[in-house]
Amino acid sequence: MGLENFTPEKWWAGIFVRLRANAVYTPTVNRQYEGELSDSGSTVNISELEPIGVSSYTKNSDITWSNTVSYSKQLRVDQQNYYARNLDSMDRLQSNVDLQNGIMDEAAWGMTKAQEEFIAALYSGAGNSVTSATVTAANVLTNISNMQYELDNANCPEENRFFPIMPYYNQMLVQATTGVIGHTGVPKLFNDSVLVNGYVGNLFGFNLLKTTLVNHSSTVYQMMAYHGSAIAFVGQLFEADIIKRESRFGVGMKALSVYGGKIIRPEAAVKCQVTTA
């Protein structure tokens, strides 16, 4: 028998962090209505005027007056997520890592991921659509060009167009183009000073953002490209506490996140069902 009993074990003074997807939806949608959020279940009413028609004028004739009509869109803030975790005092004192901050960081990512998946699932509200396709390197440029056409035809502004894509779609673009699309996503600072991860390039007017959070079931993906104003999102960390547990030695960490979203400009979003080959 050797001296195994005298061989010390070492513990790394850090916390292993799981791999995380790029969060690309929440930083690129319209969040200007967040100041209106008061509590969970509230409704944000967004007012708009009807299109005002222009009539031909004939000299020396009476004009026709019309009443102004207004409409409103309702944004429901009806989604809630929470976490609640215990941390025993003995675990905290005897650990060589910052367990408390590690738990809160992991929980914060879980809340962000839930919001990303919620926005990705709004694709059915897009007002434009492109024919479903099994995308390959041979037809991927036609697919994305068709999506550009739909937004162009809807008078959608050419700046601030975003297209979250899954890694497979990015691979097809890399194989179809040269020097336009990156193999690896990088952080990108957009015009509104929001830093977004996963940027792989700009093609056909779209800022392409690579993520594994595109809505999908097996090999069928519900993809959506949109202008930054198309999707309204309201989100807030409504309550966050670190409390002493009365019945034990330790603390409890809890937080409640409330949010809601809606495609308020359907004409500024386009969807396409894509199947991987």
What pLDDT was estimated at residue 9? 60
42 pLDDT above the threshold of 60? yes
Does residue 38 or residue 56 have the better pLDDT? 56
Assign a CATH topology to domain 18-50+74-277. Answer: phage-related protein like fold (3.90.1690)
Reported as a single tens digit per residue, the pLDDT across 2-14 is: 556 655 665 555 6
Assess contact for 92 and 102: CB atoms under 8 A.
no
In the chain, the percentage of residues whose pLDDT exceeds 70 is 88
The enclosing H or E element of 39 equals none
Distant-in-sequence, close-in-space partners of 150: CB < 8 Å, separation ≥ 6: 128, 129, 130, 270
Tokens 């941390």 belong to: 87
Rounded distance between C-alpha atoms, residue 176 and residue 159, angstroms: 24
**Alpha-carbon distance 241 to 108, whole Å?**
13
Query: What local confidence, expressed as pLDDT, does residue 57 receive?
Result: 92
Better pLDDT: 68 or 160: 160
Half-sphere exposure of 258 (CA within 13 A, CB side): 15
pLDDT, greater one: 52 or 38: 52
Q: pLDDT grade, residue 191 (50/70/90)? A: low
**Contact predicate 135/274, CB 8 Å:** yes
Q: Is the dihedral of CA 216, 221, 222, 225 positive or negative?
A: positive
Per-residue pLDDT band for 163 (boundaries 50, 70, 90) equals very high
